[in-house]
Amino acid sequence: MSAPQGRAVSPVAALLRVSRNRPGAAAGERCEMCAAPIGDEHRHVVNLESRGLMCGCRACCLLFTDESARLRYRAVPDRYLRFDGLPLDARTWNELQIPVGLAFLFRNSVQERTIAFYPGPAGATESELPLDAWAAIVEANPELAVLRPDVEALLVRRSAAGGGRDPVASCHLVPIDACYELVGRLRTLWRGFDGGQEVHAAMDAFFERVESRSRAAGPVPAAVNSSATTGNTALTVGGSS
């Protein structure tokens, strides 16, 4: 049905229109917005208020791709980038107050701050990052300004090394739903204090997949580089649906 002349159709109104004719319940994965059948490989939408993930069909996800729109939901993109040589030594990592060597960081637009999650036997533990410490990292590494709030995360894995420093083994931009997938997987496998061999094998397999899908992060546009060094970084940069 075409929209009346002179009136814009909001994403919510479009969803309501689709839902009136949605099919009845059936077996298999279905879009949580319009109930259309979807395959095992499908996209997700983030509820910005609850941070919950919803399975979505392509049509519904396309309704929530406009980053400038003031919407309750945001579609999770399918972008993987690799940041080579990001200088997060032991001292810098300790300033972020993250007690383990694996974490994902994302910008929460509702709380207007960057949050870190790290896995454990009970699932994901949340930690609000010290704003000054995170702002200093982004000011020194303006390429991180490409992370989209709520839907993309900076996934960092560090490995022990000699000389009193722990270099970054890998640092990637990944979709937020990939991070939640990893946390859920590790929770089911976790044994003992450090997770056990199965957890470490699962992490290795996950990061191999991330690496295979990632491309190197490109040069920082001048406008982004400027905004990342003006002192407003903490309000414009995200890390994460």
The secondary structure of 189-206 as a DSSP string is H-BTTTB-HHHHHHHHHH
The confidence score (pLDDT) of residue 168 equals 58
Query: Do 127 and 115 contact (CB within 8 A), yes or no?
Result: yes
The whole-angstrom separation of Cα 154 and Cα 136 is: 16
pTM comes to 0.75
Whole-number percent of the chain with pLDDT over 90: 29
pLDDT tens-place string over residues 122-152:
778 887 777 677 788 888 888 888 899 999 9
**CA 104/CA 82 separation, integer angstroms:** 14
How are the residues of the chain apportioned to helix, strand and coil, as percentages rounded to the nearest 5? 30, 25, 45
Higher-confidence residue of 237 and 40: namely 40
Segment 20-45 mean pLDDT: 77
Residue 10's pLDDT is what?
Answer: 53
Cβ pair 166, 158 in contact under 8 A: yes
Question: DSSP E strands: which ranges in 48-160?
Answer: 53-56, 73-75, 81-82, 102-108, 113-120, 123-128, 152-158
Across 190-213, average pLDDT: 89
**Residue 90 confidence (pLDDT) above 80:** no
Long-range contacts, stretch 18-27, CB < 8 angstroms, 24+ apart: 18/59, 18/60
237 versus 213: which is more confidently predicted? 213
Look-up: residue for tokens 């910005």?
A: 48
What pLDDT score does 241 carry? 33
Amino acid at 181: E
